[in-house]
Amino acid sequence: MNIVILLGAPGSGKGTVAGALAAAHDNLKHVSSGDLLRGAVAKGTEAGKQAKSYMESGNLVPDALIATMIKDVVAETTGDVTMLLDGFPRNLAQAEILAEMGTPVKSAVLIDVPDEIIQDRIAGRRTCPKCKAGYHVRNLPPKVEGVCDVCGEKLVVRKDDNPETVKDRLVVYHQQTEPLIAYYKDKGLLRTVDGTTGVENVAAAFLAAM
Ligand code: AP5
């Protein structure tokens, strides 16, 4: 098993790209820290109860909380698999935790999207609470408005997808997550793709880069 890290601002398309690639390639596994945390919140686990208020305000949850979840998923993943790790690490301390886990990091691919585009992307995002498929009301609409193409569930707007929280999430991204770009560049692992060119193009560029 090895790991490809997805880097990029909230709403840059990390989940969309990783989901599309994992659906098309048996040896790619999409692991989203946000989905793990939202799952824990929905189930009402102790970790979910701790994470809820951080997530709703757009802040990062404590490193140890998310690191435990990621370690569990890494431990249960075996064989000839590349894990597309979406949302972890989110700061330099988490990058060190990942390095200590010992699973080789093949590359860290930055999906580059300017902040001006992010607000529109997130304002139009709709997600399936059941199968986690993601949509956009204009860029990637479902076949039937408000209904998931994959499983038929009613689509929802995420609680942290309001304009005020998105602003806070961008501040957190620039302060805490952006330093990872230099961190992985120094290790010779950084690749960058233009995230503004449409979902299929970005997915193809990502696959070539990783
Ligand atoms: P998380 O779920 O990871 O959210 P995020 O990083 O803010 O990323 P998003 O899911 O918002 O965006 P995305 O890049 O996946 O974009 P998407 O593909 O949906 O984290 C949520 C919270 O959990 C955090 O705020 C934090 O509290 C906590 N957390 C998570 N990980 C943590 C960690 N490691 N440490 C501490 N706390 C952590 O695309 C967005 C929209 O754009 C969609 O509507 C999509 O259809 C559309 N779109 C995508 N690509 C394109 C394209 N190329 N062209 C046009 N439209 C596109």
Write the pLDDT tens digit of every residue in 36-47.
999 999 999 999
Q: What angle do CA 187, 189, 191 make, to 5 degrees?
A: 140
How far away, in angstroms, is 10 Cα from ligand 1 center? 4
Pocket of ligand 1 (CB under 6 A): 8, 10-16, 33-34, 37, 54-55, 58-61, 66, 87-88, 90, 94, 121, 124-125, 134-136, 139-140, 160, 169, 195, 198-199, 202
Sequence spans of domains, the chain? 2-113+172-209
Q: Give the active site residue among 90, 121, 126, 132.
A: 90
Straight-line distance from the first to the last Cα atom of the chain, in angstroms, rounded to the nearest whole number? 15
Name the CATH superfamily for 2-113+172-209: P-loop containing nucleotide triphosphate hydrolases (3.40.50.300)
pLDDT category, 50, cuts 50, 70, 90? very high
The residue-averaged pLDDT of 74-78 equals 93
| Residue 158 a catalytic site member | yes
pLDDT category, 159, cuts 50, 70, 90? confident
| Residue 138 a catalytic site member | no
